Chains A and B, each alone.
Chain A
Amino acid sequence: MTSDQAALTGDHAVDIDKHVKVYIVVFVALMALTLITVAVSYLHLPTKTAIALALFIATIKGSLVACYFMHLISEKKLIYVVLLITVIKFAALLALPAFTHGNSYGIFE
């Protein structure tokens, strides 16, 4: 790639080799965490603990994909703002219906 092309893409153009090293490390980590998730499930932990642990590991894996494969760790502020707003809305969508009607299910039984 010419230096013009490198300049034009605006972000991590010329030190791509460093990035590739990171990708490989992340890949190995993701594989390991996947196997850990499955192994943990064989322990048959109590449900609440199992859910918390599984989601905790999934969050780590998801963050690795987002930060490194999707370059979020070095993204611009605008993208962070959009995602922050989204996360807040997502949290509201998850939390508020649960708090509002979490108890009123199975009413026809």
Chain B
Amino acid sequence: MMEIPYTVAVRRDTGLTNGKIGIWLFLASEVMLFGALFASYILIRAGAPSWPRGDSILNVPLATFNTIVLISSSITMVMAWASLMRGRFGTFRIYMGGTILLGFVFLVVKYFEYSHKFHDGLFPSSNNFLAIYFTLTGLHMLHVLGGMAVNAYFWGPGAKLWKTNPVWFTNRVENSGLFWHFVDLVWIFLFPTLYLL
């Protein structure tokens, strides 16, 4: 009976664990997903007779705040992992909790943004600017939710693994951190593209 090797220890010639490779491959596919939407945005905008400036329709201060929130959640995420590397489970809990909380704040702000738009009669169907805005930020939001769910799992029930296999747990937190940073990275490009240009 054989177990799956390189789940915890790295393979010598690649220097990597399976999970690390797996998450980067997944992120590569996500680059293509958001890339396709960016390509669509470029083509639609290039072909439009006129295109509104983002700040004339969207709420820049609120989005700036959200950008700061998301970047902060990235630092708490990496600190959560660093805490595990230092063997400090309690600190991990605090930082990971912070990450989840900041993600929640991001979602709440987006809720207010969206409902304000709907209230003003601005829907995806109103024009192509809004269509691409809602689609891009909507898909991004789904990724934030997904990341939060995974983080919540590692904060909560998944944390049991720290007792039985701390190295594996640390690696898994690092990998979910990579996903979370990617979600932040997408927003770093989305924010100026949609709101400021």
Q: Is A–B contact present in the complex under a CB 8 A cutoff?
A: yes
Q: Which residues of A are in contact with B by a Cβ distance under 8 Å?
A: 1, 5, 8-11, 13, 16, 19-20, 23-24, 26-27, 30-31, 34-35, 37-38, 41, 47, 50-51, 54-55, 57-58, 61-62, 65-66, 69-70, 76, 78-79, 82-83, 85-87, 89-90, 93-94, 97-98, 101-102, 104-106, 109
Known contacts A34-B64, A102-B46, A105-B46, A16 near B39 by CB under 8 Å? no
Q: Are B170 and A9 in contact (CB under 8 A)?
A: yes
Known contacts A23-B79, A97-B43, A37 near B196 by CB under 8 Å? yes
* Interface residues as binary, B1-29 with A (CB distance below 8 Å gives 1, 0 otherwise): 00000001110001111001100110010
Q: Are B68 and A69 in contact (CB under 8 A)?
A: no
Can you list 8 residue pairs at the A/B interface with Cβ under 8 Å?
A9-B85, A10-B9, A10-B16, A34-B67, A41-B192, A41-B197, A65-B181, A105-B43
Cα-based distance from A55 to B49 in the complex (angstroms): 23
Q: How many residues of B contact A (CB 8 A)?
A: 57
Cα-based distance from A98 to B45 in the complex (angstroms): 11
Q: Nearest-CB distance from B108 to chain A (Å)? A: 19
Q: Are B82 and A90 in contact (CB under 8 A)?
A: no
Q: Which residues of A contact B171 (CB under 8 A)?
A: 9
Q: Which 7 A-B pairs have the closest CB atoms?
A: A105-B47, A10-B10, A54-B192, A41-B196, A86-B28, A76-B15, A1-B87
Given A50-B197, A55-B192, A62-B189, output 18 extra A-B contacts at Cβ < 8 Å: A16-B82, A23-B78, A23-B79, A26-B75, A31-B71, A37-B191, A37-B196, A41-B197, A55-B189, A57-B192, A69-B78, A79-B16, A82-B24, A82-B25, A86-B31, A94-B39, A97-B39, A98-B42
Q: Which residues of B are in contact with A by a Cβ distance under 8 Å?
A: 8-10, 14-17, 20-21, 24-25, 28, 31-32, 35-36, 38-39, 42-43, 46-49, 55, 60, 64, 67-68, 71-72, 74-75, 77-79, 82, 85-87, 166-167, 170-171, 177-178, 181-182, 184-185, 188-189, 191-193, 196-197
